[in-house]
Amino acid sequence: MRRLLVLVLSAMLVTSGVAVAGEQVIGGERASIEANPWVVYLTDDHGVQFCGGTVVAPTKVLTAAHCALGRAPGDLRVVAGREDKLDRDSGMSVALADIWIHKQYVAADEGEDLAVLTLRKPLPYTPLPIAEPADRALYQPGTQLRALGWGRTSENGKTSRYLMQAVLPVLPDTYCAESYPQFVKTDMFCAGYETGKIDTCQGDSGGPIVADGKLVGVTSWGEGCARRGKPGVYVRISRYAKDLHPVVDALPTGVVEP
């Protein structure tokens, strides 16, 4: 039987009403929303944070397909500009106009784990550019990436109140394939440390992995959190740039101007 993919499971359990999200990026540190204005989090219709996302256009947020699958636009809200989830006076909570899920998505560990959320009104925050096919150097083993989110700080912890970040080096595709037989190197990459200890976790799904001022990955799946030999697996954004641009760059409909 396929081993449990906890990042995917976290989104599923929130839907069923089981409390699962988590504290924060494991082994990370506090991050500033001012320095990372494009990072957002998603809440369900009860206001519970369960996934992350990235502003890639004024009315577009890129997240993981498994965070949005089976949900209607009215089931979700995007919270932007808020570093502390309890600080309701900062940032803004925005309703959705539409949800796009990659047409080939089946399961996170099979690839295509991407969704684009179209917002009902533009966000006043600078979008983050996505990695393009020419950005091959950003995926070379050893490249230092930054992961951000409000997910767990331990495998069985609680969700973080604050935005967190951690530095994760890209690992060789051969190592990723040895760790996960279902790993697809053309569609994914893995990052972290062979010894574990620093990783993304439940509640971080859909959130950004950045390098050189670009969105290079989306937190997707993995086995456990920060386990030895089980690094986090991320969507290889450059592989999907041609699929994303028509959606991200499209003029939105049903959007209310501020």
Q: What is the pLDDT of residue 151?
A: 87
Range of 212's domain? 136-238
For residue 91, give the amino acid letter: G
One domain for residues 98 and 151: no
Residue 258 domain-assigned?
A: no
In whole angstroms, how far apart are CA 152 and each of 4, 147, 185, 225?
A: 17, 13, 26, 9
**In a 10 Å sphere around its CB, with 0-12 CB exposed, 13-18 middle and 19+ buried, how is residue 101 labelled?**
buried
Give the residue carrying structure tokens 């996170």.
108
**Residues 16 and 56 placed together within one structural domain of the fold:** yes
Look at the block and give the residue holding tokens 């609680």.
Answer: 158
Query: Residue 28 falls within a domain, yes or no?
Result: no
Listed as ranges, residues in the chain with pLDDT below 70 are: 1-24, 153, 252-258
Are residues 72 and 12 part of one domain?
A: yes
- 255 within domain boundaries: no
Neighbours of 173 (CB within 10 A): 17
Pairing status of strand 164-169 against strand 144-149: antiparallel
Residues 13 and 115 in one domain: yes
Same domain, 94 and 119: yes
Entry pTM: 0.88
Any idea of the CA torsion for 85, 22, 46, 258, to the nearest 10 degrees? Answer: 40
Residue 135: CB atoms within 10 Å: 17
16: its two tokens:
């069923």
Same domain, 10 and 111: yes
Instruction: Check whether residue 16 and residue 121 sit in a common domain.
Output: yes
Same domain flag for 102 and 14? yes
pLDDT for 153: 67
Do 122 and 166 lie in one domain? The reply is no
Q: What integer pLDDT is reported at residue 213 of this predicted model?
A: 97
- The reported pLDDT for the residue numbered 4 is 34
At 255 the pLDDT is 62
**Would you say residue 196 lies in a domain?**
yes
Residue 123 and residue 74 in one domain? yes
Per-residue pLDDT at 252: 65
As annotated, the active-site residues are: 66, 113, 205
Quick one: 75 and 181 in the same domain? no
CA–CA separation, 238 and 236 (whole Å): 6
Q: Which pLDDT tens digit goes with each residue over 45-97?
A: 899 999 999 999 999 999 999 999 999 999 999 999 999 999 999 999 999 99
Number of domains in the chain: 2
Distance CA 54, CA 46 (A): 21
- Where would I find the beta strands (DSSP E) of 2-74? 29-30, 39-43, 49-57, 60-63
Please give the pLDDT value at position 82. 97
CATH of the domain at 74: 2.40.10.10
Residue whose C-alpha is closest to residue 96's, from 229, 219, 221, 256: 256
Same domain, 15 and 93: yes
